[in-house]
Chains A and B, each alone.
Chain A
Amino acid sequence: GQQVMQIPQYQHVQEGEDFTTYCNSSTTLSNIQWYKQRPGGHPVFLIQLVKSGEVKKQKRLTFQFGEAKKNSSLHITATQTTDVGTYFCGRSSNTGKLIFGQGTTLQVKP
C-alpha cells in the first residue's frame, strides 16, 4: 500500500531528446517528492508537489501531480549530458520518512 512504482527503470536518449519518468501509487498520495542522484552521488532534492493537478517547472524540468494524486511525472525537455543520473520519486509520511520508487536511470548520449 505504501509503495510507489516508477517506470521506466532505464532510459537511454540522444542529447537533445526529451525524457519522461513516471511514478504511480495504488493509494492517494499526500505529496510527492522528486530527487536526483548523480552516479556515485547522493540524492538531491528537486521539488515537492502537494496539490491535485499541480504543475511546476524548473528550467527544462516539468513536474506534474495527477488529478487523483496517485501519479506523478518528471519531464525533461532537450536533455543535456548534465542530466545524467537516477531520478527518484518518493512520498513523505507524517514522520518525515521517505518511501522511494525504484528510480529511473537516465543515460544521455552526446
Chain B
Amino acid sequence: EPEVTQTPSHQVTQMGQEVILRCVPISNHLYFYWYRQILGQKVEFLVSFYNNEISEKSEIFDDQFSVERPDGSNFTLKIRSTKLEDSAMYFCASSPTSGRTRTPFGPGTRLTVL
C-alpha cells in the first residue's frame, strides 16, 4: 500500500536557524497537509495545500513558516528562524480529495531546537 514518506526522521538545529522538512505524498493525491505534535499533546493542524497554493492555515502557521511543492513529488515545510517552542513532531499527510476522506500520515520528523 502506498505510504507518505518524510525526511529526515530527526532534525536537530540551533535556535534561529532555518530548517526544511521534506515529505513525499502519495503519488495520486492532490491535497497535502502539515501537522504538528508537541510532545505529549494532541496533533495540531498547520496548513493545507492544493493546486500549488495554500488553501487553509492555522494561527500557528505564521510568517516564519512556508510550504512549497518544488517538483512533482516533494512537499516541503520551511521554518525560517526556529524557536525553542518549534520543537515537536511534524507530520505530513495527503489525501486524494478534500473533505471527508481518510488521510494517511507520514512517519513524522522530530525537530529539536536547542
Contacts and interface: CB of A to CB of B under 8 A. Distances in A.
**Which of A42, A88, A96, A98 gathers most chain B CB within 10 Å?**
A96
A93 interface: yes
B5 to A, nearest CB: 11
Contacts of B102: 33, 45, 48
B65 interface: no
B56 interface: yes
B43 A30 contact: no
Nearest to A32: B100
Contact of A101 (B42, B45, B56): B42
B65 to A, nearest CB: 15
A78 interface: no
A99 B46 CA distance: 10
A82 interface: no
Contacts, number: 68
B42 A43 contact: no
A93 B99 contact: yes
A95 interface: yes
Interface residues of A, number: 26
**Which of A90, A92, A93, A97 gathers most chain B CB within 10 Å?**
A97
Contacts of A98: 33, 35, 43, 45, 93, 103
A43 B91 contact: yes
Nearest to A105: B40
B95 A42 contact: no
A68 interface: no
A96 B98 contact: yes
A50 interface: yes
A103 B37 CA distance: 12
A80 interface: no
Given A97-B33, A102-B42, 11 more contacts: A42-B105, A50-B100, A92-B99, A93-B56, A94-B98, A94-B99, A95-B99, A96-B31, A96-B95, A96-B99, A98-B33
Interface of A: 30-31, 33, 35, 37, 41-45, 48, 50, 88, 90, 92-103
